[in-house]
Structure 1
């Protein structure tokens, strides 16, 4: 499963969520298995228009034939363990 994180440089919320996702990936005890792709919304006009006021946005893509599906917004205060449990519902 591919997780796509829409973010932009200098966004502390984006950086925090990315760090937590990377901690989950690095944890061998985590049951969440996913690939993470970080997309900078400032590099594509359509991404910028779609997510300018909403970042960070986390989407899942089951395969390349299916479109992206936004996941519920995680609180900036969520711990990596809580985020891991939340992701298990969607992965």
Structure 2
């Protein structure tokens, strides 16, 4: 499973979510971090929204609900399990 994190340099919310994603152990996924300042179309789409976490489904990106910045790693794992399960 592949997840994409849209972020930008200096964004403390982005850094916090990335740190928590790196601590998730209950779910196996590959994480790609995309800096929105490197591509105009990413910047236009996400400049006011970062961090944005998406699931990559065979080249189609499905945005996931944004976790609270206060969510623990365990709460983040629960959110990912809910939205990444085959039934969702």
After TM superposition, the score normalised by the length of structure 2 is 0.92
Identify, as 1 or 2, the structure richer in strand.
Answer: 2
| Deviation >2 Å, runs of 4+ | none
1:1-80 equivalent positions in 2, closer than 5 A: 1-24=1-24, 27=25, 30=26, 32-64=27-59, 67-80=60-73
What is the aligned residue count? Answer: 84
TM-score normalised by the chain length of structure 1: 0.89
SS in 2 for 1:90: helix
The alignment yields a C-alpha RMSD, in angstroms, of 0.8
Unpaired segments ≥5 residues, structure 2:
none
Counterparts of 2:11 and 2:53, CA distance in 1? 14
